[in-house]
Amino acid sequence: MRAVVTVTGSDRTGVIAGISGFLAKKNINIEDVSQTILGNQFAMIMMICVPESSDFSALADECAAYGKGIGMHVRLQHADIFDAMHNI
Amino acid sequence: MFNKSQVIETIEMVEKEHLDIRTVTMGLSLLSCVRGNARETADAVYDHVMRKAQHLVPTAESLSRRYGIPIVNKRISVTPVSLITAAFPAESGLIGGALDRAARELGIDFLGGYSALVHKGTADYEEIFLRTIPEVLAQTERLCSSVNVGSSRSGINIDAVRLMGEIIKETAELTKDRDGLGCCKLVVFCNAVEDNPFMAGAFHGAGEADTVINVGVSGPGVVQHALSFVPDADLTDAAEVIKRTAFKITRAGQLIAKEAAECLGARFGIVDLSLAPTPARGDSVAHILEELGLEVVGCHGTTAALAMLNDAVKKGGVMASSRVGGLSGAFIPVSEDIGMIESAEKGRITIDKLEAMTCVCSVGLDMIAVPGDTPASTLSAIIADEAAIGMINNKTTAVRVIPAPGKKVGDSVNFGGLLGRAPVMPVHQGDASKFIGRGGLIPAPIHSFKN
């Protein structure tokens, strides 16, 4: 399943490493990464591929919880919502 | 494929502009639940709703997490109860109680369908049913009621209109300890639709399939935000911005509706394109109109701005969904929209202007508090006026007014939550009781004869 992870929050060290490690443990492949710093604000968008066998909603909850643990806002969303809203 | 800016746009719509799916509503036919007496029918109705809708709330919550879009309400609409209690109408309250209990146990905030369709005439069993409404609404918490008193095809049943004025008064009286809260759960329609997902007027029409998922989208804040980027655009360009935004909002609704129907083993019914406000700041239809250039909603120009908004929402939404239905337009409830509340509190919007606005949008005079001593015949006359607008213009219109017990103009009522608060608005003092008292049927308009 194609999905998008977005990470926002105050910049600090180890965010990319932490998120990547978290996703790798879930057997999730990262296909594209875009990251920027605006002021002190960190923002990252990752295109990922989630195994079909995964419980997507549970994984979304785990991502949010992981983000909370490192003081960042981490969202996992199925790619279909972006396709639906922005493509005819 | 989509790009990074579109990802960010979607997330900002949700997190900053109140984009949400307002309701996923499961429509259920109760026709198979009719038994030989009211008690057995009530038991069958309870069992049927509990079985069919057991996965509704968890499924909607799972979809919300999957797509990162809040689904605010999970609701149920059922076959008009008057149709399944025709053999024992005086005991209809038993079925109402069973539905309310099922809604509570399923975690559903409102269940609609304690309803009757009497637009051409009121059968004896229907009149008995209608008279149960005040007590049932006072004794239940989540049950909603609606009554269709007119249609473009059949005219307006003024006998039913007269009765509904009395029923609204009685409902207010029986819930006077809560500012007449029962009236917030009672809608009187002309041209009611059978697939409306929004409360309090939802019911599951007899022409519908057994189990259907209808979805109502929202997003006034998203439209207002999009318009804020084009402050100097002419109205053609502003309408284009609304259309594009409505398209995106509706596509989210379409995706959720299809997925929810598949997960729940139901048919995908319709997506309702309405812009539904809440009392939260940044979620107001009135503020969209003000963003278009009105000093305050209710001033001259409001009707034109609303007509443009309503039309643009439909044009964008129709392109985005394979099945559009329900009410589809912009809602203008007073107590449920912070912009409306503030304008009404300053006396800048009147019931007359609201009536004019209902000519160009969905749905009608909605969530309006009027003085508690307003005569039943005046409430009936308000309903008749609104039904006439619907009948002549081939559109749905509705009245949901609250004659707030013990309150007068200048007071206010507060229902809390999504129902919001409202100042008590003045009504005209002239007496319409002779007109309403004539009864009978206002004949169908000439343009109804299309066969």
pLDDT for residue B447 is more than 80: yes
Instruction: List strand residue ranges (DSSP E) for B321-406, in order.
Output: 324-325, 364-371, 397-404
Interface residue A77 vs chain B (CB under 8 A): yes
Gap between the Cα atoms of B100 and B302, Å rounded: 39
Q: Indicate the residue of A34, A56, A80 with minimum beta-carbon distance to B255.
A: A80
Q: What is the pLDDT of residue B351?
A: 96
Q: What is the pLDDT of residue B51?
A: 98
Chain B partners within 8 Å of A32 (Cβ): none
Instruction: List strand residue ranges (DSSP E) for B55-210, in order.
Output: 71-78, 111-117, 143-151, 155-157, 186-190
Q: Do A75 and B6 touch (CB under 8 A)?
A: no
Q: Indicate the residue of A6, A61, A79 with minimum beta-carbon distance to B11.
A: A6
Q: What is the pLDDT of residue B375?
A: 98
Number of H helices, E strands in chain B: 15, 14
Q: What is the pLDDT of residue B154?
A: 97
pLDDT for residue B362 is more than 80: no
Region B275-282: mean pLDDT is 90
**B144: its two tokens:** 């909603």
Chain B nearest C-alpha distance from A85 (Å): 5
Specify the range with the lowest mean pLDDT, choosing from B17-21, B169-173, B229-233: B17-21
Q: What is the pLDDT of residue A88?
A: 82
pLDDT for residue B1 is more than 80: no
Mean pLDDT across chain B, nearest whole number? 96
Q: Indicate the residue of A4, A78, A85 with minimum beta-carbon distance to B248.
A: A85
Token pair 């809560």 in the structure block, residue: B178
Region B359-386: mean pLDDT is 96
Q: What is the pLDDT of residue B450?
A: 85
Q: Do B10 and A80 touch (CB under 8 A)?
A: no
Amino acid at the residue B426 = P
pLDDT for residue A39 is more than 90: no
Residue from B12, B65, B247 to probe the interface with A (highest A Cβ count within 10 Å)? B65
Residue from B9, B17, B66, B318 to probe the interface with A (highest A Cβ count within 10 Å)? B66
pLDDT for residue B219 is more than 90: no
> Cα angle at B418 between B422 and B389, to 5 degrees?
65
Chain B nearest C-alpha distance from A78 (Å): 5
The DSSP call for residue B333 is -
- For chain B, the distance separating the N- and C-terminal CA atoms, rounded to the nearest angstrom, is 48
> Cα angle at B405 between B400 and B408, to 5 degrees?
95
Sign of the torsion angle spanned by Cα atoms B22, B142, B416, B328: positive
Q: Indicate the residue of B8, B11, B62 with minimum beta-carbon distance to A57.
A: B62
Q: Do A75 and B11 touch (CB under 8 A)?
A: yes
Gap between the Cα atoms of A45 and B105, Å rounded: 40
Residues near B178 by beta carbon (within 8 Å), at least 6 away in sequence: B415
Q: What is the pLDDT of residue B3?
A: 86
Residue B179 buriedness (CB in 10 A; 0-12 / 13-18 / 19+)? buried
Interface of A with B in 26-45 (CB under 8 A): 34, 45
Region B205-231: mean pLDDT is 94
Q: Indicate the residue of A45, A56, A85 with minimum beta-carbon distance to B252.
A: A85
Specify the range with the lowest mean pLDDT, choosing from A1-10, B4-13, B206-215: B4-13
Specify the range with the lowest mean pLDDT, choosing from A12-16, B152-156, B207-211, B379-383: A12-16
Gap between the Cα atoms of B96 and B138, Å rounded: 11
Provide the domain count of chain A.
1
- For chain A, the distance separating the N- and C-terminal CA atoms, rounded to the nearest angstrom, is 20
Interface residue A55 vs chain B (CB under 8 A): no
Chain B partners within 8 Å of A6 (Cβ): 7-8, 11
Confidence class of residue B292 from pLDDT cuts 50, 70 and 90? very high
- How many contacts, defined by CB atoms under 8 Å, are there between A and B? 59
Q: Do B6 and A78 touch (CB under 8 A)?
A: no
**B325: its two tokens:** 């239905």
How far, CA to CA in Å, does A64 sit from each of A4, A8, B362?
Answer: 13, 11, 38
Gap between the Cα atoms of B15 and A64, Å rounded: 14
pLDDT for residue B22 is more than 90: yes
Radius of gyration of chain B (CA): 21
pLDDT tens digits for B379-428? 999 999 999 999 999 999 999 999 999 999 999 999 988 899 999 999 99
Q: Are strands B412-416 and B397-404 parallel, antiparallel or unpaired?
A: unpaired
Residues near B3 by beta carbon (within 8 Å), at least 6 away in sequence: none
Q: What is the pLDDT of residue A38?
A: 81
Chain B partners within 8 Å of A85 (Cβ): 6, 10, 248, 251-252
Q: Indicate the residue of A56, A78, A86 with minimum beta-carbon distance to B6.
A: A86
Left (φ > 0), alpha (ψ -120 to 50) or beta: where does B329 sit?
left
Confidence class of residue B451 from pLDDT cuts 50, 70 and 90? confident
How far, CA to CA in Å, does B122 sit from each of B94, B132, B150, B163?
Answer: 22, 15, 11, 10
Residues near B48 by beta carbon (within 8 Å), at least 6 away in sequence: B28, B30, B32, B33
CATH number at residue A9: 3.30.70.260
Tell me the residue range of the domain where A63 lies: 2-86
pLDDT tens digits for B65-117? 999 999 999 999 999 999 999 999 999 999 999 999 999 999 999 999 999 99
Helix (H) or strand (E) holding B423: strand B420-423
Q: Do A77 and B248 touch (CB under 8 A)?
A: no
Chain B partners within 8 Å of A65 (Cβ): none
Amino acid at the residue B395 = K
Gap between the Cα atoms of B283 and B331, Å rounded: 12
Region B311-326: mean pLDDT is 93
pLDDT tens digits for B227-267? 999 999 999 999 999 999 999 999 999 999 999 999 999 99
**B187: its two tokens:** 């809608």
Gap between the Cα atoms of A6 and A22, Å rounded: 14
Left (φ > 0), alpha (ψ -120 to 50) or beta: where does B301 sit?
left
